[in-house]
Amino acid sequence: MTEEHLRTAGLSRSKALAMKDICTRVNAGTIPSAALIGQLSDTEIYERLMEVRGVGSWTVDMLMMFTLCRPDIMPVTDYGVRKGFQVLYRKRALPTPKQLLKLTEKWRPHRSVAALYLWRIAETAKTPKKKKSVSK
């Protein structure tokens, strides 16, 4: 399909170009089939998929957690995971991805489960209510 045809389906220019890149790479064999990708190591999956336009570490993390059911994935760039960690440990600021990676190392080899708990903590955390300003 042409980029214009993909755009008529509602895709942005960037998404249309990403879809075309994915298709090109699948046809060339650089993106493995669903049956073969599960046989690759985490590192190999990151290496192959991060080359694809529009695919970042978050996308690869979600694929590995929810499609490939990998038990030790910590999506350190995910806001919800970072927020859950902040709430759980009563931190003033969100941890950076680098800090989160280091701090969650002790949870190996079950970091995927830990990420699920961190998302839930972030979802259920009470957000502080803004004080109403009093007009004079």
Residues known to be catalytic: 78
Classify residue 73 by burial, with Cβ atoms within 10 Å: 0-12, 13-18, 19+: buried
The C-alpha angle 75, 40, 95, rounded to 5 degrees, equals 15
Q: Where are the alpha helices (DSSP H) in 11-73?
A: 13-28, 34-37, 42-49, 57-62
Phi and psi of 112, rounded to 5°? -65, -45
User: What's the CA gap between 127 and 136, in Å, rounded?
Assistant: 27
- What is the Cα–Cα distance from 81 to 115, expressed in whole angstroms? 6
